[in-house]
Structure formats: structure tokens, C-alpha cells
Amino acid sequence: MIGLSSVNHNVAAHLDSDGGTEIEERESGGVELFRKANAVLEQLQGGGEWTAQQLAESVGEPVSSTYRMIASLRDLGLVEKGLTRGGFRLGLYVMTLGAVCDDRISLRNVATPWLDWLRSETSATSFLMVRRGYNAVCIDRVSGMGVRSLALKLGGALPLYSGAGPRALLAFLPDAERREVLATFETRLNEDPELPSPRQLEHLIDRIREAGVSISDEDVTPGVAAVGAPVFNHRGELEAAVSVSTVRARLLGDREATVSRVLTAASEISRALGYQPSAMGGAK
């Protein structure tokens, strides 16, 4: 399990807090305990959501023990509740450790040079983000010049309706998934006057899909603007979003050039992942 060695001791110590004899890192009991926790995480790393029953059967542990294991892993941020009833999946903290599937690691390897290029070309902070449920999670960023504090830190998340990168993800979700996300946000959007209404957000999504790019103007942080675009994989599926963010006067003052650079980076990352627009029906 990639990146989990750094939390070996914390996992074992935390799991031991539920009871039993004292476990030291070098004792065989601690090794066995971590092995079981790691087995659960490896199952979740395969993707999708698993119930406690399914995980118990997969790792050969009683359901009651597996529930306790999951509870401890949730406390550590390594596991979180999924969208399906009784389902569990890898937590956001795993993202920050780089403990993600090979596709995501390949994505970062491919995207990082283009994040560096965007920062060099625009002096803005560049971001790479992926969808996680109803949020966009930052899995890589390169700090720019001029803005010391931005809302989205490495490993942080924004709702899919907020910001250029998140909206690029939302706009290019499959239709059924996008409708489900919008339905979930409907109450929040209707109740908060500072957020776009559901109808306004739908119109905004239509414009993003038509242009292939999302522009955010102070809707996350006052005085800050951003431009984001989607990234697709070799199957033509939405993989991620890339964006840049800086003070609005700088970014929007050269808006056309900034949009062009973000689109170039997104296109080149997609191409490196095997995306072929002509073979995918010309999707953006």
C-alpha cells in the first residue's frame, strides 16, 4: 500500500487504544495488527465502496473486529463513509499521503510538469484536483507569486459548485452523475444567498461545457480569480481538472492568454494519459 509506511506506528497505536495488551511497534502483535489494517486498506485501494461484511470476508476477520478496525481507521482519516448505505472507501487523508491507485500516481507524474509550466507562464498558483464524492480534492499544486493564502491547500477540498477547477469537474461529469450532484446541492444553493441558485449553476455549467473552460471570479476568495479545465483519460472519462488562481486583476487582465494556457495544459495532460478526442466523439 503506497505511502502507508509513514502511518504504520500511528495505526497500530490507535488500534490498540480500543483495548487489549500494550502493543509495541516491534512486537509480533503490532505487526499482525498492522497487517490486518493494511489488508483492509488494500481492499479499499482497489476502488469502489465496500461494506464491513464484504471487507470482513475479504480479509478473513470477524465482522465485529472489522467494524472496530474501520472505526479506528476512520478516526485516523484513512477511511471514510461512502455514498452508498453501509459503504466505506479510502479517506481524504490517504490522498495527502499519495496512497492512491496507480492511475492517480500516473496522473500526478504526467501533470506536475504542466503545473510547473503554468506557474512559469502565468505566475499564478496551479492546481491539480480530482473528484471525491461531492468535492474536488487538490492532489497537487505549485505555488505562484502574489497570493500567499489561497482557499485550496494540498489535500484540501472544495464543493463541486465552488471555484474554477471544481466547476470544471462538475460540468463534465456524466449527465446522470451531474444531475445527482446538483440535486444534493439544491437545498444549500437555495438557502445561501451568496451562492448561485440551482438554475444559475445549471446555466453556468452549460457555458463551461460549451467553452471547455471554467472561470471563477471572486466566488471562493475576495480579490482572487481562477481558470480551470477538465482532464480526460484514455477511455474518454473525466479524470481530473487543472486550474490556475491568482489576484483577479492579473489573471483577468490577460484573460485570453490565461485561458489558452490552461486549455493547453489540460489538453496535453489528457493526451499523455491516452485521450484521443477524435476517437471519443470529439469531446472536449
Looking at the structure, do residues 261 and 198 belong to the same domain, yes or no?
Answer: yes
Looking at the structure, do residues 86 and 39 belong to the same domain, yes or no?
Answer: yes
Residue-range definition of the domain harbouring residue 68:
4-97
Given CA atoms 209, 213, 216, 217 in this order, what sign does their dihedral have? negative
Q: Determine the pLDDT at residue 5.
A: 45
29-36 average pLDDT score: 72
Confidence category of residue 46, pLDDT binned at 50, 70, 90: low
Domain count, the chain: 2
Q: Determine the pLDDT at residue 116.
A: 94
Q: pLDDT of 59-112, one tens digit each?
A: 888 898 899 889 989 888 888 887 678 889 887 666 555 544 445 557 888 899
Looking at the structure, do residues 19 and 129 belong to the same domain, yes or no?
Answer: no
In angstroms, the Cα distances linking 79 to 1, 2, 37, 69, 138 are 14, 15, 11, 10, 18
Q: pLDDT of 242-277, one tens digit each?
A: 999 988 888 878 889 999 999 999 999 999 888 887
CA 204 to chain centre: 22
Q: Which three cell numbers stand for residue 9?
A: 506506528
Looking at the structure, do residues 129 and 230 belong to the same domain, yes or no?
Answer: yes
Among residues 97, 131, 157, which one ends one of the domains?
Answer: 97
Global pTM exceeds 0.75:
no
Contact between 126 and 242 under an 8 Å Cβ cutoff? The reply is yes
Looking at the structure, do residues 64 and 180 belong to the same domain, yes or no?
Answer: no
Among residues 97, 114, 149, which one ends one of the domains?
Answer: 97
CATH number, position 226 = 3.30.450.40
114, β-bridge pairs = none
Closest to 253 measured CA to CA, from 217, 229, 214: 217
3-state secondary structure string, 85-113?
Answer: CCEEEECHHHHHHCCCCHHHHHHHHHHHH
CATH number, position 56 = 1.10.10.10
Looking at the structure, do residues 265 and 131 belong to the same domain, yes or no?
Answer: yes
